[in-house]
Chain A
């Protein structure tokens, strides 16, 4: 019989401080620009109202990551790997973001071959999820079936002056055991969170409908507004495209290889020799984003790449909304 616990809200600070002593703890809070994102815990005030504007993707797959140092040795090179094996805890991860982490896990750890940089960061990661208790702006996780967290170690549900704590993995169990003094055993059952998402996306046959409507006029109409700013791909918790480049270190002859986030919304993304661009039009690039999220990815992985967090809608400066694109196309194809 699984035991459930309560963590009093007044004990949360103590819990996070204790965790910080053994791992790098990331918590939802405000950055210097008042944007909500996951930052290292430093006794700051937590942002627990709804999902953060930025997902914890930034930590798992950093915007700029050094992969190698190539050391020049007379006429040859020595190749040094740079792997980040730090122990980490993510606290307060919302259901949508746990699904996004699942997407990254599938892609980086299982698909074709594993990515050792991602694996290094991912390996010693504890995920403490936090159940949403109200709808967030633009979210549609219920439509995407991502409203129940996956792959987490502990699940916290707000209950008056406490958090109800559900153990979801062995790692989670060990964690509660270790800090047992902070948790009270309870006979309560998990509080159900009842709310309706602010947005909806009908997913029945969505892939087929979108595939058939590759040249639907909606793409062009929306693309006319699109600024190709790539904000959508930056805030998306499951967007993973990256590029790689080298940099010389002055004087030594050594060089370094970096990997950096890239975006399908930028024209250069599909550049090949002789300055040929496969997706030169804004229309084709916007379509690539939506199609990759709702159609293409599913072919290889069996589930859509979109986790319904609604961040791309939130951040778009011109109001492009992929749920609206999908429903317009669906409406016209009836």
Chain B
């Protein structure tokens, strides 16, 4: 695993660009080195260090199915200089990739359990591979629930997947938007309001959370209220890593590094972290 690609970006080609929302695009990407693409695999929740040459490098979570390895996908929102440059790229353009880095969701440990997915905004991107992995071996898992909230209906990601998942047996999809528009018939309010719209039972359950820091605080509180214990919770923390290898210290949280020990942390580790830094 400790190969050169951890420190040197490997060239990769954008083979497809899909516009998810006004500011979010999903890029389908293949390594230029076909052997490398063949060997490529990842655990859902892991991230790549993506180089847009001339603009810089940024950590981006993989958003494609871990079962599909002939290409990979990155779903990127324009939030700064590098993401802005990335969103200008077209089919055929080359970028650099290092990784995958970090610890993902321990999907094998979720077997025979009910899984509650909670995501906000772009947090849907790292959760998508987890749902794909579980949906593929549906019979090995219990009931699944996805609570997904975003700004407004225009910001919903992966609409086709949501539709498909909504029709999957024992997979309940609940959506909410912060700002209601006339065309939106569903729930309005933050993702925590969805907790009252369905039965949330902590027995034999796991909760996976990916979303912005503010959302995480409220969701953790809500899960506690519903009887979830720390060890039943997994959350991916947002940090802007500059190296991915535990050196630059941008993602240092107490004794942990989000790039090596995370970004997906178990609730037991989260509980030990200072609240303001989660």
Q: List A residues at the B interface (Cβ < 8 Å).
A: 68, 70, 72, 75-77, 79, 81, 107-108, 111-113, 115-116, 214, 240-248, 255, 257, 262, 264, 269-274, 276, 278-279, 284, 288, 291-292, 295-300
Contact = CB atoms under 8 A, between A and B. Distances in A.
Nearest to B272: A211
A274 B7 CA distance: 28
17 contacts: A68-B8, A70-B51, A70-B96, A76-B94, A77-B53, A107-B247, A112-B246, A214-B274, A246-B51, A246-B57, A255-B54, A257-B56, A270-B240, A272-B240, A273-B77, A276-B238, A299-B254
Contact of B247 (A240, A257, A300): A240
Interface of B: 2, 6-9, 11, 32, 51-57, 77, 79-80, 92-94, 96, 122, 212-214, 238-240, 242-243, 245-250, 252, 254-255, 260, 274, 276-277
Given A240-B249, A248-B54, A278-B213, A77 B254 contact: no
Contact of A245 (B56, B214, B239): B56
Contacts of A278: 213, 239, 276-277
Contacts of A81: 8
Nearest to B254: A296
Contacts of B249: 240-241, 264, 292
A284 B276 contact: yes
The 10 closest A-B pairs by CB, nearest first: A299-B255, A255-B54, A273-B79, A241-B249, A70-B53, A112-B246, A246-B56, A296-B255, A244-B242, A248-B54
Contacts of B6: 113
With a 10 A CB-CB cut-off, give which of B52, B213, B240 has the most chain A CB atoms: B240
Contacts of B96: 70, 77, 79
Contacts of B53: 70, 72, 77, 246, 255
A115 B57 contact: no
Contacts of A113: 2, 6-7, 245
With a 10 A CB-CB cut-off, give which of B56, B77, B277 has the most chain A CB atoms: B56
A244 B57 contact: yes
Given A240-B247, A243-B248, A246-B57, A79 B11 contact: yes
A207 to B, nearest CB: 10
Contact of A77 (B94, B239, B255, B260): B94
Given A77-B11, A257-B57, A279-B277, A244 B248 contact: yes
A297 B245 CA distance: 15
A68 B274 CA distance: 36
Contact of B212 (A72, A79, A246, A276): A276
With a 10 A CB-CB cut-off, give which of B7, B52, B238, B249 has the most chain A CB atoms: B249
B276 to A, nearest CB: 6
Contacts of B56: 244-246, 257
Given A79-B8, A255-B53, A255-B54, A243 B242 contact: yes
